[in-house]
């Protein structure tokens, strides 16, 4: 293989390794993208713990340059949606392509990921990044879209009392998006560092014990554990809404009787609208760069993932 | 005490007895009602098993005549809403009086129930029953209102594929109400008797195993057990709605990760609009009388409750 024709990739096949592989050849509907920056998500950490029996190249948060593909995309700086849909199933035809019945998922399901010098993605998933957005902000496009999906999943009114549970990477992005609705927002934190960041954005950081039960119009659970759901049910008012943003370990217990008696609305929420995110970032309505904790190269991927797994760690980036 | 001044009442205080008590004296905002017919609900069966540490007179499904009260209500045949609200708390002021923070509940919580010759209820909870509705239909007003609440809790579209899980007393009322939306409805049954009744109404009765997963727009769980919720999650399509209608024993396990990944909407649903019910019954859009399985007198209350507790039992009525 000629020099320049190989590409490093962070692969997991029972264990984590940085491999050299031939530069992927894009299919007819795909572009080849050269990585500028990748971001490590909690899902990456779960995948290398065995979640979904994942095997392949990791990475679904990225900003990169189109290196091969349709002429009008060549050289453009892009971010991308991670669900690779079939376009023909009932979900795709009903404009719910993130729920495509045959979907593949970048770096998660039957589609090699973005933690590589070069990687493929279908062109229809790409979004050009406006010049005003630096790489260090654009790399947040995917998780910030997931945060925006909270507002697609539930109608938050400007007068609502809203509580965010969990002030990790996703909770911090969610809190910033929720703030834009003008709602009366409080974020439940466990660490001083989290409170400091929130204070910088003018968002009240509180302890769980300071909040009265049964008063919040909307509670968003970004904790990812069953106690988060039970806290959410306790905090929400009758006929209020609980938005679930993160996946749970195993099958947790849930007080469904309380859901019935209080007529609570529980809404799951996953991937979100990327065009929205690019508008928010371009207009500087969301401030993501303070969430960056460290930056590693692809060669240092193992250290990067170990760092990301530390309790309380914020965003860890991977660059070429 | 003079004859005619006492009133039998079905009381539970650790055990069930038919007592003779002085005829209650209505408060300034209350009417005294003479029972025409009462209906036994699964909640009554749970209360005498220890649910909510209930103590007092049972009964919240009734039709009766106003015997004492404001002049314009005297002699009127009425049904009544069961939540006795305070009128001043935040929920009452936000038109959510069924969620009043200080609510008492007829025959359930700090308010003696309707299984008695004479019982009290606040006048604002009463609804006059149109002449065309016989007692045997009017007595279903409360559970039928709970069934109508499904449509208050979720928007069912005429084109929706809808599955009702559970074909007990509440499921049968729910199925009839859902049918009126024109939706594509199927009811999962376990007994031939249930299938026969549904067939009479032109509603498809199916077995769980005949239904494909992930296709229903809306699934309503009237089973009251955790397997009902897990079936509902399996049957609903991505971004579909699960309506929970009945309470669960203990704190069941619930696959919240599936709620998140499929972006399912789970909605609890309790007491409903009684005026709606009276319209439906007057217009004979719902057929409740085939659900009556047996009728007992107040003196026979113990037998009546035992009968109601038999697996598969439909509605058991109590008359004076």
Contact A248 B257 (CB under 8 A): yes
Average pLDDT, chain A: 95
Q: Which of A239, A265, A269 faces B99 most closely, judged by CB atoms?
A: A239
Model pLDDT, residue B127: 98
Tokens linked to B22? 């002085």
Q: What contacts B232, CB < 8 A, 6 or more positions away?
A: B163, B165, B219, B220, B221, B242
**Per CB distance under 8 Å, which residues of A are interface residues toward B?**
91, 96, 99, 101, 153, 214, 226, 229, 237-239, 244-248, 251-270
pLDDT at A195 over 50: yes
Q: Which of A153, A229, A239 faces B256 most closely, judged by CB atoms?
A: A229
Q: What's the complex ipTM?
A: 0.90
pLDDT at A225 over 90: no
CA–CA min distance A247, chain B (Å): 5
CA–CA min distance A125, chain B (Å): 19
CA–CA min distance B21, chain A (Å): 32
Interface test mutation site (partner B, options A155, A238, A242, max chain B beta carbons within 10 A): A238
Contact B263 A260 (CB under 8 A): no
Average pLDDT, chain B: 95
- Structure confidence by residue, pLDDT tens digits, B169-196: 999 999 999 999 999 999 999 999 999 9
Best CA proximity match to B287, nearest among B172, B185, B207, B191: B172
Chain B residue numbers touching A92 (CB-CB < 8 A): none
Q: Around Cβ B112, how many Cβ atoms within 10 Å? A: 20
Contact A253 B254 (CB under 8 A): yes
Instruction: Determine contact, residues A63/A138, Cβ cutoff 8 Å.
Output: yes
Query: What gap in Å lies between CA B238 and CA B260, rounded to an integer?
Result: 10
Chain B residue numbers touching A262 (CB-CB < 8 A): 99, 268
- Structure confidence by residue, pLDDT tens digits, B199-214: 999 999 999 999 999 9
Q: Is residue A133 classed exposed, middle or buried when 0-12, 13-18 and 19+ CB atoms within 10 A define those classes?
A: buried
Read off the pLDDT of each residue in B252-261 and give the average, rounded to a whole number: 94
Chain B residue numbers touching A244 (CB-CB < 8 A): 256, 259-260
- Structure confidence by residue, pLDDT tens digits, A85-110: 999 999 999 999 999 999 999 999 99
CA–CA min distance B3, chain A (Å): 42
Please give the DSSP secondary-structure letter assigned to residue A109: B
Q: Tell me the pLDDT band of A3, cut-offs 50, 70 and 90.
A: low
Say what the pTM is.
Answer: 0.92
Give me the total of CB pairs closer than 8 Å, taking one residue from chain A and one from chain B: 109
Model pLDDT, residue A6: 87
Q: Tell me the pLDDT band of B250, cut-offs 50, 70 and 90.
A: confident
Model pLDDT, residue B211: 97
pLDDT at A134 over 70: yes
Model pLDDT, residue B44: 96
Q: Where are the beta strands (DSSP E) in chain B?
A: 6-12, 16-22, 30-39, 56-57, 61-68, 77-80, 83-84, 104-105, 118-122, 126-128, 161-165, 184-188, 205-206, 216-221, 236-244, 265-268, 292-297, 315-319
Q: Tell me the pLDDT band of B4, cut-offs 50, 70 and 90.
A: low
Please give the DSSP secondary-structure letter assigned to residue A307: H
Chain B residue numbers touching A267 (CB-CB < 8 A): 263-266
**Residue of chain A whose Cα is closest to the Cα of B264:** A268
Q: Tell me the pLDDT band of A259, cut-offs 50, 70 and 90.
A: very high
Q: Which of A244, A246, A261 faces B268 most closely, judged by CB atoms?
A: A261
pLDDT at B3 over 60: no
* DSSP state string for A113-135: -S-BSEEEEEGGGEEEPPTTS-H
Chain A residue numbers touching B261 (CB-CB < 8 A): 247, 268, 270
- Structure confidence by residue, pLDDT tens digits, A149-183: 999 999 999 999 999 999 999 999 999 999 999 99
Contact A254 B254 (CB under 8 A): yes
Query: What gap in Å lies between CA B304 and CA B309, rounded to an integer?
Result: 9
Q: Which of A251, A257, A270 faces B253 most closely, judged by CB atoms?
A: A251
- A3-7: long-range contacts (C-beta < 8 A, 24 or more apart)? A7/A116, A7/A117, A7/A118, A7/A119
Model pLDDT, residue B1: 47
**Residue of chain B whose Cα is closest to the Cα of A91:** B238
Q: Around Cβ B15, how many Cβ atoms within 10 Å? A: 8
- Structure confidence by residue, pLDDT tens digits, B19-38: 999 999 999 999 999 999 99
The end-to-end CA distance of chain A, in Å, is 20
Please give the DSSP secondary-structure letter assigned to residue B274: H
Q: Which of A91, A244, A262 faces B259 most closely, judged by CB atoms?
A: A244
HSE at residue B50, side-chain half, CA atoms within 13 A, is: 2
CA–CA min distance B184, chain A (Å): 17
Q: How far is CA B255 from CA A36, A254, B20, B211, B266, in A?
A: 37, 9, 49, 20, 12
Contact B251 A246 (CB under 8 A): no
pLDDT at A249 over 90: no
Read off the pLDDT of each residue in B85-113 and give the average, rounded to a whole number: 96
Chain A residue numbers touching B234 (CB-CB < 8 A): none
Chain A residue numbers touching B251 (CB-CB < 8 A): 253-257
Chain B residue numbers touching A265 (CB-CB < 8 A): 265-268
């Amino acid at each position: 293989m000629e020099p320049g024709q190989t590409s490093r990739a962070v692969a997991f096949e029972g264990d984590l390794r940085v491999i050299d592989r031939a530069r992927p050849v894009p299919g007819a509907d795909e572009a080849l993208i050269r990585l500028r920056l990748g971001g490590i998500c909690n899902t990456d950490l779960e995948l290398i713990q065995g979640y979904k029996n994942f095997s392949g190249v990791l990475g679904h948060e990225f900003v990169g340059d189109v290196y091969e593909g349709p002429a009008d995309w060549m050289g453009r700086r892009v971010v991308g949606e991670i669900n690779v849909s079939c376009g023909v199933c009932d979900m795709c035809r009903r404009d719910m392509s993130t729920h495509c019945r045959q979907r593949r998922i970048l770096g998660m399901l039957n589609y090699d990921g973005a933690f590589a010098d070069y990687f493929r993605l279908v062109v229809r998933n790409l979004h050009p990044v406006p010049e005003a957005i630096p790489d260090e902000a654009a790399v947040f496009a995917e998780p910030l879209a997931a945060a925006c999906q909270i507002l697609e999943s539930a109608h938050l009114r400007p007068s609502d009392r809203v509580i965010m549970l969990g002030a990790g990477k996703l909770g911090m992005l969610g809190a910033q998006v929720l703030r834009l609705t003008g709602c009366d927002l409080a974020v439940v934190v466990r660490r001083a560092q989290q409170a400091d960041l929130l204070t910088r954005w003018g968002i009240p950081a509180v302890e769980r014990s300071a909040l009265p039960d049964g008063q919040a119009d909307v509670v968003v659970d970004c904790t990812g554990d069953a106690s988060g759901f039970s806290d959410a049910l306790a905090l929400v008012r009758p006929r209020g809404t609980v938005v679930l943003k993160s996946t749970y370990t195993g099958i947790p217990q849930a007080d469904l009787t309380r859901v019935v008696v209080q007529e609570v609305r529980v809404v799951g929420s996953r991937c979100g609208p990327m065009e929205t995110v690019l508008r928010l970032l371009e207009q500087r309505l969301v401030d993501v760069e303070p969430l960056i904790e460290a930056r590693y190269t692809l060669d240092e991927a193992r250290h990067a993932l170990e760092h990301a797994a530390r309790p309380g760690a914020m965003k860890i980036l991977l660059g070429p």
